[in-house]
Structures are given as C-alpha cells and as structure tokens.
Structure 1
C-alpha cells in the first residue's frame, strides 16, 4: 500500500517511454551537385556554414552521419565541387585557382562545421578523391611511350601548400605501368594517379616500423603520400569516416593499405562508390579489398569496406518512375547487393535513393544578363542540368521505405530532405527503422506468398526477422499498381500476435499473425505498408517520449479510442480545456502508477495534444488476457488519465462522455502526405462506454479530469521512513486563505482517499 498526499505527489516523478535503439546509422548526404556557392566575389562561402546551422536539427531528426563533399581545392577553384582535386592540403586558405576559398567556404568555416556536427553528436564522413588529379600548373611529356609516342599532358603540380607536388611519373602511363588500360590506369577523370611508382615499402624511414601502423605495404611515393593525407583528414581535421570516390578505378592493392593505415586502431567506416550495377563485379572488388592484405599483400590487418548499392537504386528508380504499374515487382526478389545470388552482408552495404551523380541539377555562375537569374550579393546564379541526370521523379516515398526497412546503412539525399518536402516522410521512416528494422532479411519469394488479391507483378515484400523478443522485426510491403490494393498471405517473423501498419495508411485496423506465422498483408496503391506488433510507440529522437509507460504486452488486439481536436473545449483538465502539451492514456481500473498504461494517446509519432490534429489511443487486450496491467480482457473497465503539462501532474477523468453507438465521425490524423496526410478518415462508433472491446471504436466527446490544489506555493517536501513510520515535512513560500493542511492516503490514482491527519 502506498500513501499519497491529496496534492498528488506523483508530480514529483517523471516517467519516460523505454525503447530499444538498434542504432542511428542513417547517413545524410550533406550536399547536392553544384551546391549553392554563395557570393563568389567574397572569401565567405555558404555551404560549410549551412551544414553547421542544421547540425542540431539533423541530430534530433535521427541522422547519425553527415557526408560532406571533398574539402580540398579543386582545379576550377570556387566553382569546383572538389572532384577536380588540385591541392590536397588547400582547404580554402591559399589564393590559387582564382580564389582563396573553395566552393563551400574557407578553412575556418570548414573546421567550424566539423565542430558543430560533432557537438550535435553527429559523425562526419568526408568525400575522398584518390583516383585522379586536375588543374596542373604546366605540361610535361608522359613518363613512357604506351604506343602512341610520349604525349604532352598537364602533370606538373606545384601547389601553394607546398605539399604533395607532382610530375609525370605520378600518373599513367609511367615506367611502372606503361599503359592506359581500364579499369585502373585509364583517364576517366583528369590525370590518373599511380600509387606504386617508386616502390619503397616505407612511409617514413625514420619512424618505428617505417611509419606504418600495420604495414609494411608495397606502395610508391604517391601512394605513401596519399596515406599520409588520409591520416591528416582523420586525425588532424577530425573527420570520422570516408566515402571513396571513383573506387571502380582504384586497385584493391592500394585501397586496402590506405584504409587500414588511416588510424592506429579500429578502421573508420568506409564506403566505396563503385559506379556499376553488375553485382558480381562489385562483390568481387569488395572481396579483393577486404582480403588483399592477407592474400596478396603484406601487413597484419585486413580492410573493411562497404559498397553503395547501384543495382538496387536502379530497380527502385524503375519501380517509382513507372506510374502505370507495369514494372515487374517480382524482380526485386533478386535485385540489390543483399538479395543477389552471391550477397554482401548488410554491414557492407550503403543503400540510397538519390545522390549527386543521379540528380545533376545545380547552381552555376552566370553574367547577370537574364532577369530570371538569381542574384546573391555580387554573384548571379542559375539552375543548370548536367549530363547524366537520371533522378527518381515520382513516388519516391516507396523507395525510401524500402531502404529504411532494409539491411545496410541508408543514405538520404539533401534535396529530398530540404527541397522536395520529403522530410516528414523520412523522419517517420527513420523512427520506424530505429524501432523495428533488426535481424536478417528475406524477400517475398522465400515467404510462401499466396495472393488473395493482386499479383506478383505488382507486389513485393520482405521481412526483417528481429531479435526474437517479439517487439522488433517487421514486414515491409510495396504495391506499384496505380489503383488497386494488394492483399497477400505470407510468412512473417511473428506468431500469435496482432500486427498494425505503422505507416498509418491503415488506421483503426489490424491483422493477425497466426500460429504458423501466416499473416494477411495489405498495402494500398502506389504505396508501402510497414507491419509490426501492436502496442509500440516509435518516435524520432528529437521527440520526447511519453510521460506514460506501457505495461501491456505488445502484439495484443486493439480497442481504438479517438479524441478529436474539435471537441477540445469539452476535454476539461483541472478546470480548463485541455492545452497543447498535455497527454492522455488509458489504464486499468486497478492501476496505481503512470507506468501501467494499456494504451497511450498519440498524434502521429508524438504524444502531446497539439490542438490541431485528432488523438488516437490504441488500447491493448484480448479475450484470453490475464487482465490488469498486462492488457485488458473483453468487457473489463478502464480509466482515462491525463498528464497536465503545466502542473506536471497526473489526473484521472472522473467522468467521460462518448458518442452514441453507430455515430459516423471523421478523424483527422497527423501523418506524412504519402500515407494520407491530414485527410480525414471516416469511422463508425461501435462501442460507447469505458470498457474494453476487441476491435472496438469509441469516440470520446468529453471528460473532466480535475485535481484539488492547495492554496500554497511549496518550496520543499520530504518523506522519511525511520523504520517505525513515515515522517512528512514541507516548506511553503506563500499561503493564500489557507486554513491548514490535511494528509490523505489512497491505494491508487482513483482513490478512494482516507483522511490520516489534519
């Protein structure tokens, strides 16, 4: 038995929702092709400052890593995206190539950006260009004749940093590799770097182990110098991970030593841009890099590398852009590096929907002759499309749902998040990923599908097996048909549990996973559905958890209790209409604590009343339930409890009003546009009292939750148990018309109270 003062000392405590966090591994690509350069006539760039400004927002939204563009000065100076790398050590502090700053800003702005992202708890992944170099200061003859005579090439580099100069021996063709053969020696971009000319096996001859952490490695002076540069990026500048540009054209014999030598410890995360849809070719190169040191090279440590999944992205593009529904969804059973015949592990995959090589629209500097140009300071800009433009332009939410549910690290494109209004959808999906996307994955053709309606050409699904506890794992379903819902029976990771669609496309409905795991999965036209056990409350990390905690077992059947914003005046909390920030939950009549909820009110993925959207409480129970805090039995009574955010107090509704049976009402949810947005959902009341009913739909039209507050301002309160009794003491700052104090005791939040002393 617990004693309580009538003032309700529950307000002294704060309960938060507990949840599993499988890892916030989502990447944001923090740029797009030809990002806004700002006013190129000044030394203050725009982009590094932009990333610093949004750092806190990105962390709150659930991102883990921000991928930033190449920071070194490019051959086109202020207009270079960094991929035409000229001076490895010029971060915007040397006046060369027509500017001091880079396209993104100056060195100080760069370092401030890294600090801002770190201070927000984010990792920073730097784009690293190792394959080529451009913008040389003079021409030289090729180092060797590869069959057409020694040609003049731009290969003499004398950067103002005075670090890593170069000449013709550093590029192909040279005496070490006297050819321009693909994939490793051809000039795809600018001059192709040779990593092995002047082979010396020593990084620093005067240092212990010749400067190697895990070597020696068989590299030449250019390869050695790039390893030193890589260490500088990580250890001096503070980058945490690397994205490797044009990796298809870099030998595994250099890539592996470069990665393992970055730090004297665990290798930073690395992902390679192997721009090819041939999954066997990608897998072969990946395996060569990870096995190179122990199989062919020298040294004591193998590399770890992940690969961008271009094959999957191509399939997602075709699915999304083909709005007629004639794309064959069954091909997704074998598309992507995870579902290929010789798959990669999920840890070795980075999935993406869009990137700067697929969306090629960006800003270029123009001469201000067109009145439609955009002027920024003394610079005029316009949007221009470069070659290779191949974006997803329709139903992109379906692609993001796939990569957020799938194994691998998903990468979100800047424009999708900040330009194309997909931020709400992506935040929602990131929250679902954090809660549910765990365990191994299996595609539809391994799930014994039976089509109740629709066809394999229009439907695809895969499962995540979860950790076995029954509260994670999921089913992700996709439907590309332009008009028709798909309904498919398939095997799921769940047994004897009720599932719901956490996309909120389907509200007020559930589906059952039977004893053989078979489940009927529904998905609407041109959309996705994300199924997992009922009774879970995913939300972004920047959204506070509820002041209530669910004690009922997830996966039970639901009774839906709706509260509409239009009825707010009748929802009385402590003598006044409910206010934004207040919370509501359903509890068993026997409950005594806020951590014994059987249903928590939510508006989308938030728990606070907002005064605009309607609130839904999904109450857990079942006909065979033991009842009480583990879930309600059919016909069992419940009570409505309100958390008053202004008073930081919990109060029980003494009276509740319901709309009559058969009342038709519209429910206005808060959900992403692709799932229906704020479009009202029509429902019919089938239960009009405060008792649990499986599949029940109740509309609460009013309640009165009140508390009797003492006419004093408390400054301190203590309760001390001395083995014989409980001593209560308190101090007041002020008292208004106070006639004295009474101490009451109750066994629960709903009383009855018994007077102990006055």
Structure 2
C-alpha cells in the first residue's frame, strides 16, 4: 500500500453489545480494499463496567477474559474476539493499533488510608490544606483474575493523586503525601491549571520504580499476547515526558516495527514542538492545531480565510510527526472536548488531509459509518471512499499550492513514474468559483472530470497545460483525467 491511512475504528456512542471486535474482524477485508493501512482499535482492557468506552481503566491484564466489574467481556467483546480481530486485520495487510491508557486507574477493589493535601483545582501547585488523613479506593487486587499473568497489586503509594475521599464522602483534587510524592516536575507535564499531572480517577505515579518496572513487564506481556504492531497513547500531556519516551523506546526493543502516536491535546504549536523534542520524537502526535482550524473554518463559513487553514498546525511545521484528523471520539457532539466539524465542511476537511502528501491522516469511524442516538450524524462513506481511492492512486509527485484567495484554494498533484495520473483539487467555503491551474503540457488536450461528482463540467487542458477548474459553493471537487 503506497499511501498510509489510519481509521479510528470506534466512536463514543457505540452499543455496549460486546460485538464490536467481531464486526471489525468481518470488516477487515473491506477496510483493506478502501485503502486503510492501520486501524486504531478502542481500549481493550477491563474498565469500570460494560458501558465504559474503555478509558476508565481497571485491569490492563484483563482483555475480556475474567469476571470483573460485573462482566467478562468488555464493551467491545471478549479476549478471544479481540485476538481474532487483530489477526483478521493482519491477514489483510492492516496494522492493528492498540489504544493504551496508562495515566490512571479506576474502580479500585479496596479502601486504603493515607495522607493527602487538598489542592486548588485551578492551580494544582497550591495546597488548600495541611496534610490530613482520608480513605481512597486505591487498593487494586483484581480478585477475579486471581494473579493470573501478574501478581502485582496496586496500593496508595503507587499513585500521586485521586479525586474522591471516601472517609469524608467528598470530591476534590487530592495530592497524596509520602516519600518522593508530589506531581510530576513542571517541565514534564502540561502546565495548564498550574500542573496538569492529575487528570482523573487514581493518578499513577510514574516516579515510583515499581510502577515503571511493572508497566514494562505488562508491555512485554501485551505485545506478545496480542501481536499488535502499534500504540495510540492516551492523555500523554498528563504523563511524565521522560517516562513516555523511555516506555516507547523500551516497547520498540520488543517490537522494532512498532508505530506509536500520542494524544497531546494542545492547540499551541510551540508547546507541541517542545513536547516532541522533549520525548526525542519517539512517537508522533495528533494534530490538534489543524483540527481546531477545521472546526473554526466550519463554524465561520465564508468569513474564514482558507489561505490560513494550515497555520499553526503540526502538519505545516513537522509533517513527518503529524497525525491529521477531522474528528475523534473526544471532539464529537456531547463530549468534553466537543469541537464538531460541521457536516457541510466534512468533505472539504477530509480533502484537506487525504488529498495532500503531508501528515498521516486518520478517518473517524463516526464519519465513515455515521452515528446514531441523541447525537446522530450522517455517514460520509460515499465521499470518503472516493477520497481514499484518490489518495491511493493520485496523491504523488510534485504538489503545487494555489492558496491565493480567502474563499477558494486549490492544489495539484503531478503524479510520478508509478502513478503518472495528475490530480487537481479545488475547494470553496463561499459561493461557486473556479481556479486556473497548471497541469503541465503532458496533460495538454486531455479531458478532466470531477471524480467527486460535484461538478458536471468536462474540462479540456489547454495547449500550454493550463485550465480553469470550477467548484460549487461550500464544496470540493477533485479533477482527474476522464479516460482513467
């Protein structure tokens, strides 16, 4: 496969029917046919219950095998289903990417007593109390697993914070007190809220040597057990940079071809670049800056200057480290980071990531298959199939940009020896327009049509290689040679 593309194969509101792994296995051949080279699978670990999307992690060693938290399967299925889905993907040449959630644990088995300081939620560096005693659900003994695969139990000293005091039945942000305790160093995590080490649930202390050793042991078990060839890393801005860089470097000694990318949710290019440097470029990052540009462009319509659509994005500065995306499970309607790209702009947005050479694009399950329920949205499968086809066959050679009008931009792909076909892409966020583009003299006299079917015109390339390509209002057209 020439052009790599990821699909995030889940959305927040999937039914909790434990059938998702089976659906994925059945879909593997189709995904391969449309040009998907990697599939980002949802978290496979036992979480707080059957309805948990997977981020309320309870037991990293339970992939839907043990009777814990009221269920054997996870929301997505059993361990056997998971392993079969992974094999189905690999049999069709697709790399399975596992969603790895290391930041926290939830649903502890036992109450423990220890000392904390209550912290200011908006400035985690400021203590609101002297140390005092609370009880927290920080004892993780996994009685349903009975020490199979690992006999490691988690206790209060393996964490640095939590959000519930069971002794006084109060919620808050509590920093655990003890030897070598405290949040991660300021230069190791995001500085929002003073220090953003703490995010939710029982926050894992990555300074504790037993924690580091245990998680490396788990990584070896997980890679050997599942055969996954990639990691998507959750909430990395809340985890020590040094730990993450070391953890992925270690994982790559176990699986040299491992591909990893992280969720560093920060719409600030300077901070993002500093983070990449701080983690020694061990993994790529999702391009939050570009997503926010796409979101804003969809909100502002004709008032948005399309010539700036890539400004402040990771793909503009470090394309080799950028995973571009339009939507994900956190940005969809009803979620904490809701920033849903409007439906009218979705095809344009996907054109901006799929029909360009920079970055590694990720297609969202909810956009491809649609979303049902209270936050329903339509499927864009017809458009995405066409864009994915064009990506596989036409996004090669010299890419020339025509970003010279705030409401109508374009670019061309010249093709290469193996993919000699040329492509012209034109998009508008206002009224119908056109762009005059140089397709090269090799295309002189050839007839081009809009593969996306938005414009019925047929465009004949002039003798000098130039032609004027139209686009409908608020739309995108992708022009290719008619005979191909």
Determine which of 269, 276, 298 is the counterpart of 1:286. Answer: 276
Going from structure 1 to structure 2, the CA distance change for 1:313 and 1:55 (only over 3 Å counts) comes to: same
Q: 1:518, CA displacement in angstroms? A: 5.7
SS in 2 for 1:358: coil
Structure 2 stretches lacking a partner, 5+ long: 119-126, 161-175, 371-377
**Counterpart for residue 433 of structure 2:** 486
What is the 5 A alignment of 1:310-321? Answer: 310-321=288-299
Aligned counterpart for 1:332 among listed residues 309, 312, 319: 309
Which residue of structure 2 aligns with residue 270 of structure 1?
260
1: distance between equivalents of 2:155 and 2:111? Answer: 9
Provide, for residues 546-590 of structure 1, a one-character-per-residue CA deviation record: whole Å limited to 9, x for no partner: xxxxxxxxxxxxxxxxxxxxxxxxxxxxxxxxxxxxxxxxxxxxx
Matches within 5 A, 1:645-724: none
Conserved 8 A contact 2:439-2:467: no
1:405 aligned to which of 346, 349, 355: 355
2:478 — aligned with what?
Answer: 530
Among 166, 169, 175, which residue is 2:154 paired with?
166
Q: Is contact 1:48-1:105 (8 Å) kept?
A: yes
Calculate the TM-score normalised by the size of structure 2.
Answer: 0.81
> Where does residue 425 of structure 2 map in the other structure?
476
The match for 2:219 is 230
Q: What corresponds to 2:468 in structure 1?
A: 520
Matched with 1:248 is: 237
Q: Deviation at 1:100?
A: 1.9
Q: Cα distance 1:489–1:285, how it changes in 2: closer, same or farther (>3 A)? A: same
Q: Does residue 1:87 correspond to 2:59, yes or no?
A: yes
Q: Which residue number in structure 2 is paired with residue 589 of structure 1?
A: none
Against the structure 1 CA distance between its residues 485 and 127, is the aligned structure 2 distance closer, same or farther, given a 3 Å change threshold? Answer: same
The residue number in structure 2 matching 1:176 is 180
How many residue pairs get aligned? The number is: 432
Greater helix share, 1 or 2? 2
Q: TM-score, normalised by structure 1?
A: 0.53
- In structure 1, the partner of 2:381 is 423
> Residues of 1 paired with 2:322 and 2:351: CA distance?
16
Q: Cα gap change, 1:167/1:394 in structure 2, threshold over 3 Å: closer, same or farther?
A: same
Distance in 2 (CA, whole Å) between partners of 1:280 and 1:442 is 27
d(CA) in 2 for partners of 1:472, 1:337: 29
Cα RMSD (Å) of the superposition? 2.8
Contact 2:106 2:201 in 1 (8 A): yes
Distance 1:103 1:77 in 2: 8
Structure 1 residues 336 and 194 mapped into 2: Cα distance closer, same or farther (>3 Å)? same
Q: Residue 263 of structure 1: CA displacement?
A: 4.1
In structure 1, the residue matched to 2:40 is: 67
Deviation of residue 387 (structure 1)? 4.4
Q: CA deviation at 1:269?
A: 0.9
Label 1:155 to 1:495 Cα distance change in 2 as closer, same or farther (>3 A): farther
- Checking the alignment, whether the CA contact within 8 Å between 2:330 and 2:336 is kept in structure 1 is no
Structure 1 unaligned runs (5+)? 1-20, 39-44, 198-219, 292-302, 361-384, 450-455, 538-758
Is 2:54 the counterpart of 1:104?
no
CA distance in structure 2 between the aligned counterparts of 1:469 and 1:88, rounded to whole angstroms: 45
**2:140 pairs with one of 157, 160, 164:** 157
User: Which one has a bigger Cα radius of gyration?
Assistant: 1
Counterpart pick for 1:393 among 324, 342, 349: 342
Check if 1:306 corresponds to 2:284.
yes
